[in-house]
């Protein structure tokens, strides 16, 4: 049965255009209700809820425009993104109305870039020819950040000045995915064959493994020089995951994790800022009024939320922390306080569904490069989500990574929409 003739196929469960658009509108309606509740709690004119139409309209419009060119694509990614963006806009409006208004503009621009990516990348396999260009561009962006970056909260993450700043590390993630996917699609078999019994100690030739080792060394250098634990862990995790997928060799991941832990241990002893970050993670109660303040307040926020939360607009976290901290690093804590365990579990389910759809696209891809690229983009989404969720729950050291589609930030949001456009382009041949 043609996709245009059904909402949800009763035989296969496939989602059609009407169901996709209905889900996007439902996401907009949920965001609108949340927006009204926040306005009522803060004594703000609820008439401003019309701003939520910008969010739902942008993503719905993007879906319609993409259907004009090709109706074969994954139809759950956009509704999931709409729901996450809507929740983020509601929470941001509660914390900082100005930031929420800017976030809606970023959503509009992001949806436009997503559509542009979907059409420009008419054959994702051609991106494999740009693997070395993409890898070099990613490294140049990160090196430029190290040399000329603006330091914020002890880490050099930004380029530019004043209001015109962006995080080069965000587009570098997509570029690195293209490089790794292209390289492993071409050399994965050679890397997989080296070191098998009875010659398991034999490593691949340097000309095969050299470019990948360069990535590892660069991640460790970034960890030390840039003072950005989150980005270093993200890039290293992306490298190990794609190496395992591309070669089928778990031993590479074991060796890589051991090397990373060793490097992290050395850095903790050699560099005070690394040691301080780990000390706060291990025992924030040692100095709850200074270094451990944010972590302690995040734990209090989760605890006060209970099962169903204190209600949108009634939380106290934004009074304990700076608004910009709540809007970025601790936005998930605000969700936990005001929507409770039920709200946080719903957010986790949304992320799991999006990550699953991304890997599903990779599994069904007909080309090794496209499969690896989809897996890499999904890995970035998974690791970003895991890093911030585990960080605010004190399972790992807190990092400066943003929560995808929810946290405030133009660089992150635009990059996530571009990655979404790439996934949708790959899914044209899998649906």
pLDDT of residue 210: 74
- Which residues in 28-65 are b (16+ Cβ under 10 Å) and which e? bebbbebbbbbbeeeebeeebbebbebbbbbbbebbeb
* % pLDDT > 90, the chain: 40
Count of CA atoms in the C-beta half-sphere (13 A) of 86:
33
pLDDT of residue 125: 94
Residues 325-343: tens digit of each pLDDT = 888 888 999 999 999 999 9
- Which residues in 307-339 are b (16+ Cβ under 10 Å) and which e? eebbebbebebbebbeeebbbbbbbbbbbbbbb
Confidence of residue 417 (pLDDT cuts 50, 70, 90): very high
- For the cut 70, the answer to whether the pLDDT of residue 19 exceeds it is yes
Q: Tokens 């990614």 sit at which residue?
A: 77
- For the cut 90, the answer to whether the pLDDT of residue 359 exceeds it is yes
Could you tell me which residues are beta bridge partners of residue 150? 158
- Residues, the chain: 431
The residue extents of the domains of the chain are 3-429
More confident residue, 258 or 21: 21
Confidence of residue 4 (pLDDT cuts 50, 70, 90): very low
CA distance 219 to 146: 12
- For the cut 90, the answer to whether the pLDDT of residue 77 exceeds it is yes
From first CA to last CA, the distance across the chain in angstroms is: 13
pLDDT of residue 423: 97
- For the cut 90, the answer to whether the pLDDT of residue 413 exceeds it is yes
Residues 127-145: what's their mean pLDDT? Answer: 88
Residues 202-220: tens digit of each pLDDT = 556 666 777 777 776 776 6
CA distance 348 to 386: 10
CA distance 257 to 261: 6
What's the Cα-to-Cα distance from 268 to each of 209, 223, 260, 320, 397, rounded to whole Å?
28, 11, 12, 29, 12
Full-model pTM:
0.91
- For the cut 90, the answer to whether the pLDDT of residue 363 exceeds it is yes
Confidence of residue 162 (pLDDT cuts 50, 70, 90): low
Contact status, residue 81 vs residue 57, Cβ threshold 8 Å? no
Residues 272-329: tens digit of each pLDDT = 766 777 888 888 888 778 778 888 888 888 988 889 999 998 888 877 787 778 888 8
CA distance 122 to 271: 47
Contact status, residue 46 vs residue 39, Cβ threshold 8 Å? yes
pLDDT of residue 62: 95
User: Mean pLDDT of all residues in the chain?
Assistant: 84
The pair of structure tokens assigned to 320 is 């304990």
More confident residue, 235 or 204: 235
- For the cut 90, the answer to whether the pLDDT of residue 98 exceeds it is no
Residues 251-276: what's their mean pLDDT? Answer: 74
- For the cut 80, the answer to whether the pLDDT of residue 89 exceeds it is yes
| Residue 187 burial (CB count, 10 A) | 18
């Amino acid at each position: 049965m043609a996709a245009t003739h059904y909402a949800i196929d009763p035989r296969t469960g496939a989602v059609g255009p009407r169901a996709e658009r209905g889900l996007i509108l439902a996401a907009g309606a949920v965001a609108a209700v949340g927006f009204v509740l926040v306005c009522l709690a803060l004594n703000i004119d609820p008439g401003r809820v019309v701003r939520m139409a910008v969010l739902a309209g942008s993503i719905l419009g993007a879906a319609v425009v993409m259907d004009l060119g090709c109706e074969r694509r994954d139809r759950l990614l956009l509704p999931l993104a709409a729901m996450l963006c809507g929740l983020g806009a509601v929470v941001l409006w509660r914390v900082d109305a100005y930031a929420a208004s800017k976030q809606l503009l970023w959503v509009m621009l992001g949806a436009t870039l997503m559509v542009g990516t979907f059409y420009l990348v008419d054959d994702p396999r051609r991106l494999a020819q740009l693997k070395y260009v993409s890898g070099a561009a990613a490294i140049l962006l990160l090196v430029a950040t190290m040399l000329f970056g603006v330091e914020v909260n002890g880490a050099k993450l930004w380029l530019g000045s004043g209001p015109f700043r962006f995080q080069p590390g965000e587009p570098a993630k997509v570029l690195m995915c293209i490089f790794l996917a292209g390289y492993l699609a071409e050399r994965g078999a050679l890397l997989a064959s080296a070191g098998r019994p009875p010659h398991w100690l034999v490593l691949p030739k340097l000309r095969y493994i050299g470019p990948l080792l360069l990535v590892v060394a660069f991640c460790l250098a970034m960890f030390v020089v840039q003072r950005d634990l989150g980005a270093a862990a993200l890039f290293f995790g992306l490298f190990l995951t794609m190496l395992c997928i591309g070669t089928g060799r778990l031993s590479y991941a074991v060796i890589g994790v051991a090397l990373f832990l060793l490097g992290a241990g050395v850095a903790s002893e050699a560099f005070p800022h690394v040691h301080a970050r780990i000390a706060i993670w291990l025992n924030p109660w040692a100095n709850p009024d200074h270094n451990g303040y944010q972590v302690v307040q995040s734990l209090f926020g989760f605890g006060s939320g209970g099962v169903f939360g204190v209600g949108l607009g009634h939380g106290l976290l934004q009074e304990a922390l700076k608004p910009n901290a709540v809007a970025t690093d601790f936005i998930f804590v605000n969700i936990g306080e005001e929507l409770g365990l039920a709200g946080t579990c719903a957010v986790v389910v949304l992320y799991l569904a999006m990550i699953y759809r991304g890997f599903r696209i990779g599994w069904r891809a007909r080309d090794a490069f496209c499969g690896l690229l989809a897996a890499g983009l999904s890995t970035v989404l998974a690791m970003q989500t895991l890093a911030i969720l585990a960080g605010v729950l004190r399972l790992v050291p807190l990092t400066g990574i943003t929560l995808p589609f929810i946290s405030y930030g133009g660089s992150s949001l635009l990059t996530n929409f571009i990655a979404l456009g790439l996934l949708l382009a790959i899914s044209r041949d899998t649906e």
